[in-house]
């Protein structure tokens, strides 16, 4: 997760929050043998009919979490004769099933609705079901149980992977796409959003409005959405005239612009790059509270967590721009063309992770592309420490489905060339418009568009696992007979090979920089266990430093020893940011380098570099290494870093100091009014810990300068109250307990629970809130509550508080789960 200037993106945020939204269509524990490519068993679900249209009409009793609906399915049999149709439906109460005027026999199980009849190919027919349900997943009702009325009251859906079935009986698998209509009746004081175009709004005598939305093209059922809340909206249009409806919380119109910055430009960028127009009539976005993921690319209407929705200060800490772009890409890759089965999920997520890099490259510079790619490579290599599963394995995991797949697309673009890559992708999109795809469709597009057989590439990077590990050395060589001289690289692939991981074949650039400033480079295929590559050295010049794969395009492990002199030269002169970054990291690991030389090099590079990642690395190191603080140049650099224009750099310093030295106190105090909420909070905590006698003075300064609104502001308030509570302020304790209550969204609750753990305080009220949070639908809140219950329950003075809650839990599984936490 990475960050950007002005509209910074943290790639960790993209790959963290966003990642949570789509996870793992088939992450089961079933064993799967590793076999050769194309021999992987199909996981596609069988079906007997093709659903063409789905019309959903619903109303709600939100305080009871109840859905009351009617759904009509129009379909054509796929088999010569069909005598039963199975719909997915969890916990459904079915009142009636009809085909036209004829009532049909049906059977309801815990997870399905089986309808009996007689249908023949190719006669079109329909089914209409009247039903009720109280969903535990798929559709959520935050705020309706808040007795204080403080929390926003909303209703929203999250259908991926297979959760639409929890609020409507439906065929819930992506290999069948249908044109949908949604008709929602609700209180007229609320705004309702759903897929497609708003066809009508009808006011009813009972104070409700019926909203009728309709799609004109088919999409998968997991993409069906609705969101209900109190919203305002702004409308923008792309260059081609596509309307964008961007919803914001009605009481905070000032949050709209910083949240949705660059939204229209993103659509324009993708249309130009892909050569395929935005595939739907309109596009909307809506924030929701307590969202269980980061965001979700529902067709024509992205839902995202309101922890991304806020003022310009919040966008410094938790920027929406990367998530925004990720979900927009899905409107093509995921919605327009959709995975045929679980193994093809990378065709959604890897593409939605890949194209934001190109957007940042275009709008903010090449450094961002390199930095985001490095984050992906690190994530993929981290997954490789556990296993060597291919991207197409059912247990590949998030780091491969998102990060590695995106890195693979980068490499594929490097292999075939940018223009040819985009031309093949264009054919792939156009050929499968509004249809379903699998990996071989993507590969075939390259063969048909470019005449290239890329089986070797798809085999080693997608169907097989692992990554190459290179050991690289170089030395001067010459031919006495001709007088010609070269720098000869010796490259060895050191990864263990087996049926799953082989030797990798890739074109690699070798680059030699000479002391006179000249550069020679060679691009050559490397595919054998050991290869020798020669780079011309005319005149036998002295090498300043050498690069293997400049820009770090290839996903790999690498061992390439270099001298201190070479690393310093590379840190100074390498044209690409990531190569300078790597040189600095290697220098920091060099235990033979003296403190004075290391500190001088870091100070020099901080002054010369402009990209936040390198400046943050340097600032973090100078702050953490207290032995450097004796150098006046380091002190000046740290002071400058605390006033850096980039919030990431300021954050790197203040969070790495350990304790604030007296000579930096003034600069740290200035951070109490920082434009970043996180920086201001960290500054308060560091100052209070370093100068405890002045802690309350710092709290007062921060509260006068830097509180802010709602979620982000509550974070700062909680930090202030934790410091007060540590000093015996009982009113602050009670405020922390209130922040942990169901009257607040989950991020605030998490922060408050962490603060109460830090001061080791619990009472009956907090115990009640923690038990409620333990069984909340948001699993991130559940995790924090579970850990907090375990922490407090280990202490005899608190254990009874949780035992008393046991009898209040309505279901056996809840009581068992709480009992387990109290063991």
Q: How many CB atoms neighbour CB 284 within 10 A?
A: 23
d(CA 766, CA 791): 13
**4: pLDDT strictly greater than 60:** no
**Confidence class of residue 5 from pLDDT cuts 50, 70 and 90?**
very low
**23: pLDDT strictly greater than 80:** no
d(CA 766, CA 548): 57
Please, what is the average pLDDT of the chain?
A: 93
Given a contact cutoff of 8 angstroms between Cβ atoms, the answer to whether 278 and 238 are in contact is yes
**342: pLDDT strictly greater than 90:** no
pLDDT the model gives residue 468: 98
**25: pLDDT strictly greater than 70:** no
pLDDT the model gives residue 823: 79
pLDDT the model gives residue 39: 47
pLDDT the model gives residue 201: 97
pLDDT the model gives residue 10: 44
**In this predicted model, which residue has the larger pLDDT, 782 or 1?**
782
Phi and psi at 745, nearest 5°, equal -70, 165
129-188 pLDDT, tens digit each:
999 999 999 999 999 999 999 999 999 999 999 999 999 999 999 999 999 999 999 999
Tell me how many degrees the CA angle 650-653-659 measures, rounded to the nearest 5.
Answer: 135
567-622 pLDDT, tens digit each:
999 999 999 999 999 999 999 999 889 999 999 999 999 999 999 999 999 999 99
26-61 pLDDT, tens digit each:
333 444 444 445 446 667 899 999 999 999 999 999
pLDDT the model gives residue 35: 47
**Confidence class of residue 708 from pLDDT cuts 50, 70 and 90?**
low
Q: Nearest Cα to 166, choosing from 104, 226, 110?
A: 110
d(CA 153, CA 382): 40
Helix (H, G, I), strand (E, B) or coil at 778: coil
pLDDT the model gives residue 334: 98
Q: Nearest Cα to 142, choosing from 203, 228, 68, 216?
A: 228
663-675 pLDDT, tens digit each:
999 999 999 999 9
Burial profile 32-56: b = 16 or more Cβ within 10 angstroms, e = fewer: eeeeebeebeeebeebbbbbbbbbb
pLDDT the model gives residue 618: 98
Q: Nearest Cα to 613, choosing from 639, 591, 635, 644?
A: 644
CA atoms within 13 A on the CB side of 702: 35
**780: pLDDT strictly greater than 60:** yes
**16: pLDDT strictly greater than 50:** no
493-522 pLDDT, tens digit each:
999 999 899 999 999 999 999 999 999 999
Which residue has 């100091």 as its token pair? 657
Q: Give me the torsion for CA of 624, 630, 632, 633, rounded to 10°.
A: -40
Kind of pairing between the strands at 177-187 and 49-61:
parallel
Helix (H, G, I), strand (E, B) or coil at 768: helix
Task: Quote the percentage of the chain above a pLDDT of 70.
Answer: 94
715-761 pLDDT, tens digit each:
999 999 999 999 999 999 999 999 999 999 999 999 999 999 999 99
Instruction: Name the strands in the sheet holding 112-120, side by side, starting at the edge strand that comes first in the sequence.
Output: 81-88, 112-120, 105-108
417-452 pLDDT, tens digit each:
999 999 999 999 999 999 999 999 999 999 999 999
Which residue has 């990378």 as its token pair? 346
308-329 pLDDT, tens digit each:
999 999 999 999 999 999 999 9
pLDDT the model gives residue 231: 98
**Confidence class of residue 7 from pLDDT cuts 50, 70 and 90?**
very low
């Amino acid at each position: 997760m990475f960050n950007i200037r002005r509209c910074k993106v943290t790639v960790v945020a993209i790959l963290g929050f966003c990642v949570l939204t789509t996870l793992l269509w088939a992450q089961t524990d079933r064993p799967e043998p590793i076999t050769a490519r194309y021999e992987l068993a199909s996981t596609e679900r069988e079906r007997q009919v093709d659903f063409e249209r789905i019309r959903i009409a619903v109303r709600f009793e939100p305080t009871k979490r109840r859905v009351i609906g009617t759904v009509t399915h129009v379909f054509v049999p796929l088999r010569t004769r069909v005598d039963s149709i199975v719909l997915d439906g969890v916990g459904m109460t079915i009142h009636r099933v009809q085909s036209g005027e004829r009532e049909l026999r049906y059977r309801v199980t815990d997870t399905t609705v089986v309808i009996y009849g007689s249908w023949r190919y190719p006669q079109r027919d329909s089914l209409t079901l009247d039903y009720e349900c109280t969903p535990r997943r798929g559709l959520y009702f935050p705020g309706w149980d808040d007795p204080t009325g403080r929390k926003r009251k909303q209703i929203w859906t999250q259908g991926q992977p297979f959760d639409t079935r929890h609020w409507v009986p439906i065929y819930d698998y992506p290999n069948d796409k249908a044109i949908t209509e949604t008709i929602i009746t609700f209180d007229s004081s609320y705004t309702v959003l759903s897929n497609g175009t708003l066809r009508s709004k009808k006011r009813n005598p009972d104070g409700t409005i019926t909203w009728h939305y309709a799609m004109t093209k088919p999409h998968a059922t997991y993409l069906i959405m609705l969101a209900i809340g109190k919203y305002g909206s702004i409308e923008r249009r792309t260059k081609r005239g596509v309307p964008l409806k961007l919803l914001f919380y009605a009481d905070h119109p000032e949050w709209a612009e910083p949240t949705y910055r660059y939204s229209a430009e993103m659509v324009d960028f993708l249309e130009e790059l892909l050569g395929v127009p935005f595939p739907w009539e309109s596009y909307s976005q809506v924030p929701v509270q307590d969202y269980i993921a980061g965001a979700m690319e529902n067709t024509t209407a992205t839902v995202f967590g309101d922890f991304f929705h806020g003022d310009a200060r919040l966008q410094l800490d938790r920027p929406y721009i990367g998530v925004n772009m990720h979900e927009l890409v899905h409107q093509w890759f995921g919605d327009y063309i959709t995975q045929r089965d679980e193994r093809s999920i990378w065709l959604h997520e890897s593409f939605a992770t890949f194209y934001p890099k190109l957007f940042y490259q275009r709008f903010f510079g090449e450094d961002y592309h390199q930095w985001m790619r490095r984050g992906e490579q690190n994530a993929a290599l981290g997954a490789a420490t556990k296993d060597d599963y291919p991207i197409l394995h059912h247990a590949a995991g998030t780091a491969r489905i998102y990060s590695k797949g995106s890195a693979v697309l980068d490499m594929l673009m490097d292999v075939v060339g940018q223009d040819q890559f985009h031309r093949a992708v264009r054919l792939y999109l156009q050929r499968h418009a509004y249809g379903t795809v699998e990996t071989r469709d993507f590969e075939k597009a390259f063969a048909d568009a470019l005449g290239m057989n890329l089986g070797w590439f798809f085999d080693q990077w997608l169907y097989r696992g692992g990554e190459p590990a290179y050991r690289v050395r170089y030395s001067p060589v010459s031919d006495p007979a001709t007088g010609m001289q070269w720098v000869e690289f010796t490259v060895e692939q050191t990864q263990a090979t087996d049926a799953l991981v082989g030797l990798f074949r890739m074109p690699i650039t070798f680059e030699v920089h000479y002391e006179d400033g000249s550069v020679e480079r060679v691009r050559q295929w490397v595919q054998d266990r050991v290869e020798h590559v020669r780079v011309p050295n005319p005149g036998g010049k002295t090498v300043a430093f050498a690069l293997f794969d400049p820009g770090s395009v290839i996903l790999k492990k690498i061992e390439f020893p270099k001298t201190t002199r070479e690393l310093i030269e590379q840190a100074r002169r390498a044209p690409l940011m990531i190569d300078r970054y790597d040189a600095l990291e290697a220098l920091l690991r060099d235990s033979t380098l003296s403190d004075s030389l290391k500190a001088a090099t870091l100070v020099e590079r901080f002054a010369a570099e402009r990209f936040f990642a390198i400046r943050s690395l340097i600032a973090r190191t100078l702050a953490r290494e207290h032995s450097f603080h004796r150098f006046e140049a380091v002190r000046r650099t740290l002071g400058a870093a605390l006033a850096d224009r980039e919030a990431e750099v300021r954050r790197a310093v203040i969070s790495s100091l350990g304790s604030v030295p007296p000579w930096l106190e003034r600069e740290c105090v200035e951070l109490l009014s920082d434009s970043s909420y996180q920086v201001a909070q960290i500054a308060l905590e560091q100052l209070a810990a370093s100068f405890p006698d002045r802690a309350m003075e710092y709290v007062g300064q921060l509260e006068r300068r830097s509180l802010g609104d709602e979620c982000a502001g509550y974070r700062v308030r909680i930090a202030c109250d934790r410091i007060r509570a540590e000093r015996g302020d009982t009113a602050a304790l009670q405020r922390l307990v209130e922040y942990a209550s169901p009257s607040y969204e989950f991020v605030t609750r998490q922060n408050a629970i962490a603060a109460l753990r830090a001061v080791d305080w619990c009472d009956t009220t907090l115990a009640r809130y923690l038990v409620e949070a333990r069984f909340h639908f948001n699993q991130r809140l559940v995790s924090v509550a579970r850990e907090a219950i375990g922490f407090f329950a280990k202490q005899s003075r608190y254990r009874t508080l949780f035992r008393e809650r046991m009898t209040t839990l309505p279901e056996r599984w809840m009581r068992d789960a709480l009992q387990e936490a109290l063991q």
